[in-house]
Amino acid sequence: MPLTIIDLIRRLAGREVSAREAMQGCLDRMDQVEGRVRAFLSCDREDALHQADAADRALAAGVTHKEKPLLGVPIAVKDLIAVRGQPLGCASRILDGFISPYDATVVKRLRTAGAIIFGRLNMDEFAMGSSTENSAYQPTTNPWDSSRIPGGSSGGSAASVAAGETFGALGSDTGGSIRQPAAFCGCVGLKPTYGRVSRYGLVAFASSLDQIGPLARDTADIALLLRSIAGWDEMDSTSVREPVPDYAGALDCGVKGLRLGVPRDYMVAGLDPEVRALTQSAIEKLASLGAEIEEISLPHTDYAIATYYIIATAEASSNLARFDGVRYGRRVEGGDPMEMYCRTRGQGFGAEVKRRIMLGTYVLSSGYYDAYYLRAQRVRTLIRRDFLEAFKRVDAIVGPTTPMPAFRLGEKLADPLQMYLTDIFTVPCNLAGICGMSVPCGFTQSPKLPVGLQLLGKPFGEAELLRVGRAYEQATEWHRSFPID
Amino acid sequence: MAEVNLDIRYIGHLARLELTSHEEELLGAQLGAVLGYVRKLEELQLDGVEPMAHAVRLVNVTRPDQVQPSLLSSEGLQNAPAQAAGLFLVPKIVE
């Protein structure tokens, strides 16, 4: 059983272990499991150990974790977040060889907190996908069953945490890309409220939906990571000037008296029976801990996928226009600029990215804009209203993160629409701009695969989610299960 | 919502994507299926519902017009596919 971040900090502070040993431990673990898991696209080992040595020098000089809460803690990063001097590829051929000239704000903040930033974690190309099979380089496998996908798009982030290759990771979540892989791999993943965490240095997929968030082994670690990365940033005009609470301080308040809503629209036909049963018993557990459970309704849930795949692809088609072979990335020469753009993009992007650019271009095109894009934006208003209405009655919402456990590699690749439908419980949260977290809530019988419980919270209600997650975790052992020998 | 009427080649042109004939065929079928699915939004009565572009109310953010540190031009050019004399090099545009 690998250490949590909190465990590691205690040992670093007590000089039981050095930052170099912790970092080397991650690298050794990678040597042991990467042949099978393939969570990392690359890793600059020398740079990682160099940072670890610097952390050890700081510890020796008397710097404490009070001053630098993550001093000496290795954190790995999804391949769409900029780390100065390191590759940034979005798991796409079109960015082959790109080196970041600057640090993303989240990376800068983790460095300020003392963390060791290492590795480039695999993902679906440009975060478009739910299985990490859309990586241009390699599929990542689920640490619990290598014939299955780890989820996506932050599949490398979730698999590396679950397999013990890092203490924590950063991912991004546009329609479930942190919560769904966290559920499939058996770790904790949090999508913060829109505007909670700066997106500066995150390669944009759908700008009104994207958020960076942490993945780790338990909620206490998530609280620590979120505290370090959250907060207003002058480099991101969509980040919000909302004070960052002491998430760790509020963790152990329990759930007594908290009102939790269970959406009847999430416990629908099509929900895997084992997932349903595990979700149900997790809800009963929360009730036994003192939470008040109430059935609620989110009546527009059934329209969320259609709304999402119009809005997200529309924004993506616009954001990805920048990859034209002029200023960075791959270029395929042509006789004139138009030919160069078309060839560069035609050869540089993978199938799913092209599909979404095409869809987004279509729904924004003259004559179709009102019928698709504008209509979807109106439905988005209804979806947000559903949540705001529910939050008048309840403090947080609980339900399944995914309709089924991790599926097999290749199982849904041939049918994009079937793949999109697996996001049903996670996309409404992004459309509404609220926060959500997945915590482990048990395993299917055979094969043994992790299942995630999703907690959804009010705008800037991350502290309540962490509190509920923590109470559940304290009363169960699921988060202590570990997949690989 | 209009009938799903997809001119894949035209959309590919708008998106600046060179597609093989195989891709055109496959994308045509797949996008047709997705667009067929999203037509379920037609079931909803949306009169008077405001469209939502964003979850947080956005205000225009400006700062004083003062020079601040930014990327060096060498850093801005470090990932360029082709460059000359501190500039990005592109195919000839004007005859």
pLDDT along chain A (485 residues), means of 10: 93 98 98 98 98 98 98 98 98 97 98 98 98 98 98 98 98 98 98 98 97 98 98 95 94 96 88 96 98 97 96 98 96 94 98 97 94 97 98 98 97 89 96 98 96 98 97 93 80
Among chain B residues, CA nearest to A382: B49
Is the model's pLDDT at B5 over the cut of 70?
Answer: no
Taking an 8 Å cut-off on Cβ atoms, the answer to whether A416 and B53 are in contact is no
What pLDDT, on a 0 to 100 scale, did the predictor assign at position A485?
60
The pair of structure tokens assigned to A348 is 């540089």
Does residue A326 belong to any structural domain of this protein? no
Residue A139 belongs to domain with CATH number: 3.90.1300.10
Containing domain of residue A225, as a range? 5-261+392-480
pLDDT digits (tens, 9 = 90+) for A375-394: 999 999 999 999 999 999 99
* A459 belongs to a structural domain: yes
**A306 and B40 in contact by Cβ < 8 A?**
yes
Q: Choose, from A92, A131, A154, A177, the residue flagged as catalytic.
A: A177
> Is A301 among the domain residues?
no
Is A108 a catalytic site residue? Answer: no
**Residue A204 in contact with residue A360, Cβ under 8 Å?**
no
Q: What is the pLDDT of residues A193-238, one digit of tens each?
A: 999 999 999 999 999 999 999 999 999 999 999 999 999 999 999 9
Per-residue pLDDT band at B1 (split at 50, 70, 90): very low
Of A193, A306, A351, the CB nearest to B38: A306
The domain tally of chain A equals: 1
Mutation for A interface: B5, B7, B26, B41, most A CBs within 10 A: B41
Mutate to test the interface with A, among B1, B14, B17 (most CBs of A within 10 A): B17
Residue B3 pLDDT > 60: no
**pLDDT score for B61:** 80
Q: Do B15 and A347 touch (CB under 8 A)?
A: no
Rounded Cα distance between A448 and A367, Å, is 50
Domain locations along chain B = 8-43
Contact A98 B79 (CB under 8 A): yes
Say if pTM beats, i.e. exceeds, 0.90.
yes
Query: Helix A304-319 to helix A351-364 angle, to the nearest 10 degrees?
Result: 100
How far off is chain B from A337, nearest CA to CA, in Å?
6
Give chain A positions within 8 Å (CB) of B71. Answer: 101-102
Q: Which residues of B touch A303 (CB under 8 A)?
A: 40-41, 44
Distance (Å) from the alpha carbon of A106 to chain B's nearest alpha carbon: 18
CA distance B6 to B8: 6
Task: State whether A417 and B76 contact (CB < 8 Å).
Answer: no
Residue A312 maps to a domain: no
CB contact under 8 A, B56 and A240: yes
Quick one: chain A helix, strand, coil %, rounded to 5? 40, 15, 45
Grouping H, G, I as helix, E, B as strand and the rest as coil, residue A364 is: helix
pLDDT in tens, B6-61: 899 999 999 999 999 999 999 999 999 999 999 999 999 999 999 999 888 777 88
CA A229/CA A214 separation, integer angstroms = 9
Residue A424 counted as domain residue: yes
ipTM for the predicted complex comes to 0.94
Q: pLDDT digit string (tens) for B47-85?
A: 999 999 988 877 788 889 999 889 999 999 999 999 999
Give residues with Cβ within 8 angstroms of A404, minimum separation 6: A271, A272, A275, A422
- Interatomic CA distance for residues A279 and A267, integer angstroms: 9
Residues of chain B with Cβ-Cβ distance to A381 below 8 Å are 49-52
Q: Judge whether A6 and A220 are in contact, CB under 8 Å.
A: yes
d(CA A460, CA A372): 30
Mark yes or no for CB contact B40/A378 under 8 Å. Answer: no
Q: Is A198 domain-assigned? A: yes
Sign of the torsion formed by the C-alpha atoms of A132, A133, A137 and A138:
positive
Phi first, then psi, for residue A96 (nearest 5°) are -50, 125
For the record, the structure tokens of A97 come out as: 């060889």
Q: Is residue A58 part of a domain?
A: yes
Query: B1 to chain A nearest CA, in Å?
Result: 5
* pLDDT number for residue B55: 86
User: Catalytic residue at A177?
Assistant: yes
